[in-house]
Amino acid sequence: MVDFHSVPPPLKKGNLALQTRTPAPGFPSGPAPDPVMNRETRLALNLLSLTMFSVGATMFVAIGTLPDLTTSLGVTRAEAAMVTAVYAFGSAIGAPLLQIVVGHLPRKRLVVAGLMFLGGGVVLSGLAPTYELVLAGRVVSAIGGSVASPVASALGASLVAEARRGQALTIVAAGMVVASAVMAPLATWMGAQFGWRPTFVSFGVAVMLFAALTQWRVPETGPGERLNGRVLVETILQPVNLTGILVPIAALTGLFTTFSMITLYYFDYIGATPEQTSVAMVLYGIAGVAGNYLARVVTRIWPAERTITVALLATIAAFCALFWMPPLLVPATVAIVVWSGMLSLFFPAQQQRMMGLAPNRAGLILALNTSALYIGMSSGSWVAGLVDASYGLASLPIVSVGFLGLALGVLALSSTLAARRARLAPGV
């Protein structure tokens, strides 16, 4: 049993020198949470955001290079989409299961090991001579990402006092937002200039360098929770948790139904050039980064449910515009800029909401949230292939609207169940 009243010695200079405090349930003893989020804490959180960047960018590097990858490997667009789907599905399955196997180990060690597997898998895919080996590399990356992502969030949350946990999660989640915003345009440009293989290899090496930075400057806050299959099943089957998990599944399925083929949508449907597409993706990226700074304010003044609702409604409006407008470059880019900014609000608010639903099982609930995100990403990639094959690229946005509307409905149900539980069992 963890002794929550033990007083750890102060860390040496170069790490975090934090005031001793009693950690919250779900966060084992270690360096005490920083009540003011000083410079060293912010540095650690920003380095952990590189983990989220790496996990997300491993998805988006395939999306950005999809045209060149399709041609180089001699596969269909649906088969090329599987390069994205396999990584997402592997991460979805691996996140909760690997929490059971290794989640009790020291958190920083898990983040560093996960990043090494993640980067190594990307390099393997980039050097693979066949389509099948490319997919194998994606599986290796999925194993690393499914360990690193939820543990990085839990580690970041454990570095600060409870009142600043939402802000800390927003900083860590910024990596995922920046990845979705920056990596797609960067990979699109690099894929057009150098090919998808150099793009993959260079990014994989960068991820392994991020692992070294994490080992150097991020403090260890102690081991995670020791879990078993029974706890996993119990946590999932609680109606409040289950509906909370279904929200990102539906939302990300909707987003990735269009986003997984966004470069092809620009090339083949709108008729944009690679340069125009890269500019559109850069604007998408700028909007995502700006949205993350907005999220750092919004998550402190709005409840998570309101933030998620506003983000989903605005994204639905953007996809409706994308569907109904003629295939013109500027209107389409305005629509994806709005969608990018709203996605930046969704990610940290969803994490914050899930931690509020099960604060005593922070590591597991964040792993389940990560799993839900990747189930949505892989489902969206799969749906995109089906819709494109049957109805063409022009139909992708309206299918996205349907799934996003479903996410809103599930969120309303989840909020109702959470309110009922609060009335019947206060403090649970």
Residues listed for the chain: 428
User: Rounded distance, CA 75 to CA 349, Å?
Assistant: 38
DSSP H stretches of helix in 302-328: 304-324
pLDDT at 32: 54
User: Rounded distance, CA 45 to CA 37, Å?
Assistant: 10
pTM for the whole structure = 0.74
Distances (CA, A) of 264 to 306, 346, 423: 33, 25, 49
CB 249 within 8 A of CB 92: no
pLDDT at 114: 95
Identify which of 57, 354, 353, 68 has the alpha carbon closest to the alpha carbon of residue 202: 57
pLDDT at 334: 92
User: Rounded distance, CA 401 to CA 408, Å?
Assistant: 11
How far apart, in Å, do the first and last CA atoms of the chain sit?
21
Other Cβ atoms less than 10 A from the Cβ of 229: the count is 10
pLDDT at 23: 45
39-424 placed in CATH 1.10.10.10: no
CB 338 within 8 A of CB 318: yes
Kindly list the domain boundaries of the chain, sorted by start residue.
39-424
Full pLDDT tens readout for the chain, 428 residues: 334 334 344 444 444 433 333 444 444 445 555 555 778 888 999 999 999 999 989 988 888 888 889 889 998 877 887 888 888 888 888 888 887 888 788 889 999 999 999 999 999 999 999 999 999 999 999 999 988 988 898 888 888 877 777 778 888 888 887 787 678 778 878 888 889 999 999 999 999 999 999 999 898 887 777 777 788 888 889 999 999 999 999 999 999 899 888 888 998 899 998 788 878 888 888 888 888 888 888 877 888 999 999 999 999 999 999 999 888 899 899 999 998 889 888 988 898 899 888 877 777 888 888 889 888 887 888 899 899 989 999 999 999 999 999 999 999 999 999 999 888 876 55
The DSSP string of 161-197 is: -GGGHHHHHHHHHHHHHHIIIIIHHHHHHHHHHH-HH
